[in-house]
Amino acid sequence: MSGSGRSRLAAELATAPNLLSISRIALIFCAGGLMLEGWPITACLVGLAAGISDYLDGWLARRLGQVSELGAILDRLCDLVFESTWLVVAVVIGDFSPVILFAYLFREFVVLSARLWCSAHGVALGSTFAGKLKSNFLGYTAFVLYLSHSRHVAPLRETLVLVADVGIAGGLVLSYWSATVYLRAFARAYDANKKNV
C-alpha cells in the first residue's frame, strides 16, 4: 500500500499543473532574494511570473482533467509561502513593523491547526470568499511595495507606500474575518464530534 501511495504521489507531482505550482515556490523565493539584493523591478517581474502561474495552474488542471487534492494542498502552500516570504522581506528592509508579520503568522497558525483537525476527522473546511480576497489584497500589496523601492518611480513613492499601508491593513482585516468563519465551522464540527463520542 505504501508503494502505491508513493507512486500516486509521484504521478500527481509530475503533472503540468503541479509542476507549475512547485516552480511558483522557486519564483517566490527568487523574487524575495532579488528584493533583498536591491533589484525591485526584477523582483516585481519574477513575482508577476509567479502570480500568472497561480492562475495558470488551476486553469490547466481543469483543462487537462488533472484537478487533485495534492493540487489544492500545493496551491494553499504557495499562497502561504508567498505571503509569508514577502512580509518577511518587507520587515527586513524596514517597510513594516514585525508586529504585522506576527499578526499574520498567528492567524495562519490558528487556521492551519483548525484545518488539520478537520482534515483528520473528515470535515471539509473549504476556502471562503474573504480568504481568497485576503490573498489578493496581500498579493497586490506586495507588488506595490516592491515597486515603491525602484528609483524609476521615486516621485510616486509616498503614494505607493500609502497604497501598500492600506493594502496590508485591508489584507489583515480580511484574514481575521475569514479566520472567524473557519473557526466557527471548526467549533461546530468539534462540538458535533464530541457528542458522537
Cell readout for 20 is 507549475
Q: What is the pLDDT of residues 29-79, one digit of tens each?
A: 999 999 999 999 999 999 999 988 888 888 888 888 888 888 888 888 998
Concatenated DSSP letters of 31-43 = HHHHHHTT-HHHH
Helix or strand (DSSP H, E) at 23: helix 16-36
Look-up: residue for cell 473549504?
126
Where in the chain are the domains?
2-196
Is pLDDT at 25 greater than 50 in this prediction?
Answer: yes
**Could you count the other beta carbons within 10 Å of the beta carbon of residue 174?**
21
Looking at CATH, the fold of the domain delimited by 2-196 is given as Four Helix Bundle (Hemerythrin (Met), subunit A) (1.20.120)
For 101, counting Cβ atoms within 10 Å of its Cβ (0-12 exposed, 13-18 middle, 19+ buried), the class is middle
* Amino acid 167: pLDDT: 93
pTM, to two decimals:
0.85
Is pLDDT at 20 greater than 70 in this prediction?
Answer: yes
